[in-house]
Structure 1
Amino acid sequence: MEKMAYQAEEKEFDERVVDIARVAKVVKGGRKFHFRVTIVAGDNNGNIGLGVGKAGAVPEAMAKATLQAHKNMRKIALSGTTIPHEVIAKVGGAEVLLKPASLGTGVIAGGGVRAVVEAAGVRDILTKSLGSSNMLNVVKATFKALEQLQSAQNIAEMRGKPAKDLAPFWERRKDG
């Protein structure tokens, strides 16, 4: 009974399967195969989580990855429908560049980067994936980049300036 009540309270998340890979472990008798599933879960409002699950069957790996993604939820700083500033992050050989975009631009991203930023609730962004195309490292680099983001208010306080001076040029044009 308590378990049902817990599920009813649980938020509805946008869950996306980013990658399903067959991985092998070499043992005495040969190779032992498992599946690695990478899932991104977000609430489309600035909360995002990454989960990686491994199991002998895909559904079991998906269940593990989903649970881990829900546990690893983090809040990221958004500025309306985009991100507050440009950011670069690198994990392994994969490097990801995220740039804010003006309203109506859409999500200009490919593969794993698109899944992560859309689940986070970003609607306007320019991205570039550089270096390795290893999907797991690209997704981890995107998460690392999103975690580096700081709100315009925080940066303005650190610099001792008003937040409106830090707004992107397309937003300053509206005011003045």
Structure 2
Amino acid sequence: MARPQSRGPQGRDRDDRDNEFVDKLVHINRVAKVVKGGRRFGFAALVVVGDQKGRVGFGHGKAREVPEAIRKATESAKRGLLRVPLREGRTLHHDVEGHHGAGRVVLRAAPPGTGIIAGGPMRAVFETLGIHDVVAKSVGTSNPYNMIRATFDALSQEDSPRSVAARRGKKVSEIVSRRRDDAGDAAGAADV
């Protein structure tokens, strides 16, 4: 009877790392190359990968078969992960806009119970990122590649109050209380 091969610690760590990620297939594009004997088909896949705890990445892979294209895209997505600070682990800290090419997206923080209000490619990003409440709008192109890149541009601009406080040399309470005071002043001005 064959004895199972023992894997080194690297193999086990890689499996554990792969299991923590959730991947979503966003788009598959079939392309044809015309050759002497007819057409040769290839596939391009766009995949979003995240750990549902604030890290997310996207990747693009091309191959002659769909599963191979998806595998390549997933590998590419895991290489370029972006860490996004989340408020209470469920939404964004502040509203933000992002753009790439003709694609422009607007992301807004939302109160608990709102859910993910976003279109196709953006919804995949938020689900793999671990956001539960967000309102998003895509303005301009509906090309999934540009929508994903615009969404990542917006997410890269997201800042937590802790990082802002550290950059300005202030306490987190000063920055957060100021934000609440500004919201209260705006509500008071609207009542007058």
> Smaller-chain TM-score range?
0.7 to 0.9
Match of 2:175 in 1: 163
**Are residue 9 (structure 1) and residue 21 (structure 2) matched?**
no
Residue 76 of structure 1, CA deviation: 0.9
Match of 1:65 in 2: 73
Match of 1:88 in 2: 97
Residue 25 of structure 1, CA deviation: 4.7
Higher Cα Rg, which structure? 2
* 3-state SS, counterpart of residue 114 of structure 2: coil
Match of 2:154 in 1: 145
* 3-state SS, counterpart of residue 20 of structure 2: coil
Q: Distance in 1 between matches of 2:157 and 2:36?
A: 44
Q: CA RMSD in A?
A: 2.4
Q: Distance in 1 between matches of 2:48 and 2:122?
A: 10
- Listed one character per residue, the Cα deviations across residues 128-163 of structure 1 (whole Å, up to 9, x for unaligned) are 011010011111111111111111222345554713
Q: Distance in 1 between matches of 2:97 and 2:35?
A: 39
Task: Check the 8 A contact 1:53/1:62 in 2, yes or no.
Answer: yes
Q: Which runs of 5+ in 1 are unaligned?
A: none
**Are residue 118 (structure 1) and residue 130 (structure 2) matched?**
no
TM-score by length of 2: 0.79
Q: Distance in 2 between matches of 1:19 and 1:32?
A: 20
Q: Distance in 1 between matches of 2:49 and 2:61?
A: 13
Amino acid at match of 1:117: F
Alignment CA distance shift 1:166-1:110 (3 Å): farther
Matches within 5 A, 1:120-139: 120-139=129-148
Q: Distance in 2 between matches of 1:166 and 1:149?
A: 18
Amino acid at match of 1:65: A
* 3-state SS, counterpart of residue 40 of structure 1: strand
* 3-state SS, counterpart of residue 133 of structure 1: coil
Match of 1:55 in 2: 63
